[in-house]
Amino acid sequence: MKRFLLLAVVLAASLILGSCAQEKTVWEPAVEQSTFTEMDQALPGVREAMMDLDETINKRISSKRYKEEALGQFKMVTDFVDILQFYYLPILNARAHIARAYREIDQGMYSEASDDIRKAVDNINKAALKSTEGTKTGFDVVKEGLMQVSQISDQTSDASKTRLANAAKQLNMLIEKIKPVIIMTEEGESLVDGQIAP
């Protein structure tokens, strides 16, 4: 009887412990489609509409005062679209790719993680291309952090995740510190400059 009771207790304990064990999370790729390519694709249409508006303002408003006000407001909108396209969207897309790579490493999906890290670097490069020297420096630091995540394997997965987390923190610090504004070069190119937020 004691032997049966002991066997029953051991069996019950093993069932309880087995039910408490954590299962590995099932990978759901659709949940990870978290980039902003749709917004990227919509921006050329927005720019075309803004060019039409600029033409309309210049042709139809005869009062000099109203025309200057309208053109000033139009410039604010175009600057915002430039900041959105050249600064925020690449940063948001880079952040999304970093987050996906982090989860992919956790799942042992190392080639997918490497691909997402490469896409994050591409987005950082995209933002850096339209940056002044002041803002470009911050992107270079983030890019360097991402490039340190190279050959990912079971042995390097923890270190790779730590490096990705550090790159994400550097990216977050960059966007928290900089209040982006648009400046024009002598050639008429729009660049994103940064003013340190108070």
In a domain, 131, yes or no: yes
Q: Please indicate, yes or no, if residue 6 is contained in any of the structural domains.
A: no
Give the Cα separation of 171 and 193 in Å (integer). Answer: 16
Instruction: Concatenate the DSSP letters of all residues of 123-147 into one string.
Output: HHHHHHHTB-HHHHHHHHHHHHHHH
What is the CATH classification number for the domain harbouring 175? 1.20.120.660
122 within a domain of the structure (yes/no): yes
pLDDT (tens digit, 9 = 90+) per residue, 55-110?
777 777 777 777 787 778 888 888 888 888 888 899 989 999 999 999 999 999 99
- Would you say residue 16 lies in a domain? no
Q: Mean of the per-residue pLDDT values for the chain?
A: 79
The H or E element spanning position 64 is: helix 64-83
pLDDT band for 23, please (50, 70, 90 cuts): low
176 in any annotated domain: yes
Question: Considering the domain boundaries, does residue 1 fall inside one?
Answer: no
- Whether 66 maps to a domain, the answer reads yes
Looking at the structure of the chain, the number of domains it has is 1
Q: What is the predicted pLDDT for the residue at 77?
A: 82
Is the predicted pLDDT of residue 192 greater than 60, yes or no? yes
Binned at pLDDT 50, 70 and 90, residue 18 comes out as: low
* Contact assessment for residue 162 and residue 169, using Cβ atoms and an 8 Å cutoff: no
For 7-52, give the DSSP string: HHHHHHHHHHHHHHSPPPPPP-GGGG----HHHHHHHHHHHHHHHH
> Is 0.75 surpassed by the pTM of this model?
no
Question: If you average pLDDT over residues 124-139, what whole number do you get?
Answer: 89
